[in-house]
Amino acid sequence: MDFPLTLRHLFERNHQLFGRSEVVTRLPDKSIHRYPAASFTRRAMRLAAALQKAGLRKGDRVGTMMWNSYAHLEAYFGVPLAGGVFHTLNFRLHPNDIEYIVNHAEDRFIIVDDVLLPLLEPVRAKIKAERIIVAALSDKPVPAGYESYEDFIADAPAEPMPVTLEENDAAGMCYTSGTTGRPKGVVYSHRSIMLHTLAAGLADALAISNRDTMLVVVPMFHVNSWGIPFCGVMTGARLVLPGAHLDPVSLLDLLEREKVTFAAGVPTIWFGLLHALDKEPGRWKLQPGLRTFVGGSAAPEALIRGLDKHGVKVVHAWGMTEMSPLGSISRIKSTLADQPEDALYALRSKQGMPSVLVEMRVVNEQGIAPWDGATMGELQVRGPFIAARYFNDESQKDKWTKDGWFITGDVATIDAEGYMKLTDRTKDLIKSGGEWISSVDLENALMGHPAVKEASVIAVAHPKWDERPLAVVVLKDGAQATPEALRAFLAARFAKWWLPDGYAFVSEIPKNPAGKFLKSKLREQFDGWTWDAPV
């Protein structure tokens, strides 16, 4: 008998086995909302029934413009249980992009947090969604002209009407952040989410179990929060959702109060936590063995070492929207565990070995590169939860090779043990005098300097060398550093011709909605930089 891989299985498993587990949400006023998982599953079924009652048809898209919360978790499962496709909207994008994404995806319904309504209202008249349903997380009444989420599900049957779900039916959808051109839509089938969840939950991957309390810092609008909510529901782990409060003190308070054992977020989040822990040592009593997964951009070795000192075990990961997203995990093989400490940190700083069901190769002008840890090329991947095309966009066919590999746009090496290391994005590599320089390696090294909070390295035109690296640096509060001191710090690690010829000190580095450095903005900002300009 055929057994389709659908999210219904994860949902029913949680409903039957883990009803006494807990879902915890920090609300906009910083109060805590908590309810048992049994309430989550009951309300998700009511949401599914309410959407069907409102006329949702199989395959219809439902946009969610929401922080990480219990209501967003209900939508993650309620929408596909009704036969629909949950479409997470990145509310940090420009209103023009939000308008484009909603209309391009043809969202019929939108569920939005009340505190995010001001971000939706500027485009409300331009989007084609039929109904807008407001989840009231604050104590404010739902404004006139919108529907209340609570009323919407209260008026529905306790369970949705049966829907035949096939494993290749669409279940979810996410758009890229649009840093190069228009945002592009990626659709996730039930099967791809299920396979990704099973692969991510393995002991040598995220290693999530029923005994974990998980702080889901990664926004749920960003690549399904790296698939972590699905792993949590599958295992019945306790879920802690921080809402809008992502500042270091709020997160550390939540980590301590809820006895969190697992957390995940981008490096900028964890740098903030590290700075707070260093500033007030002993203030927060974190759980022994707390592990955190860091991805979204490269995690510098200094971040890994720094959090280790506070008993927080960092595991480096890498992926992309098009990959569901988990592509690699940097776990230390048992056969490598007896290496010197510095060698182990170097390994942990790599993006790691391919995840289960993911294949990787590096391709350059000479063909497929050897796994020697030195030969660079463009990283390509393929696997059953990696997209084969973009939604309703035939202009991007060249992102896939004829034999089915997705061209990531990342430049990487893979060593003999299978550990992949990103050296740059193709568009961010610096070509100086005909030789390539990795901006990522320079950035990670600079962020190891005790005075540096953030650093980004970009290519700037040079009259002799074509391009030279410019380091854009944010110093820690009260810290000082000169260009000469930073150059001397880097000189111990890199060849002389790699060292940045200029240093610009700024108060902030622009970031995209996922928290990654927005180098396109830096290139615009420093266009016309002259190499004798003061720093």
Q: Are strands 367-368 and 359-364 parallel, antiparallel or unpaired?
A: antiparallel
Catalytic residue (one of 99, 167, 258, 322)? 322
Segment (H or E) for 488 = helix 483-491
Active site residue 431: yes
Q: Are strands 185-189 and 22-26 parallel, antiparallel or unpaired?
A: unpaired
Active site residue 521: no
Instruction: List 185's β-bridge partners, or say none.
Output: 175
Rounded Cα distance between 186 and 389, Å, is 8
- CB-based burial label for 158 (10 Å; 0-12, 13-18, 19+): exposed
Rounded Cα distance between 454 and 443, Å, is 8
Active site residue 176: yes
Active site residue 259: no
Rounded Cα distance between 449 and 505, Å, is 14
- CB-based burial label for 340 (10 Å; 0-12, 13-18, 19+): exposed
* The two three-digit tokens of residue 349, written as one number: 């700083």
Catalytic residue (one of 436, 482, 524, 530)? 436
Do the Cβ atoms of 379 and 420 come closer than 8 Å?
A: yes
φ/ψ of residue 497, rounded to 5: -75, -10
Rounded Cα distance between 165 and 462, Å, is 58
Grouping H, G, I as helix, E, B as strand and the rest as coil, residue 147 is strand
State the residue for tokens 């922080």: 67
Q: Is-cis flag, bond preceding 325, omega within 30?
A: yes
Grouping H, G, I as helix, E, B as strand and the rest as coil, residue 130 is coil
Note the helical H segments in 219-266: 228-235, 248-257
**What residues are annotated to the active site?**
176, 322, 431, 436
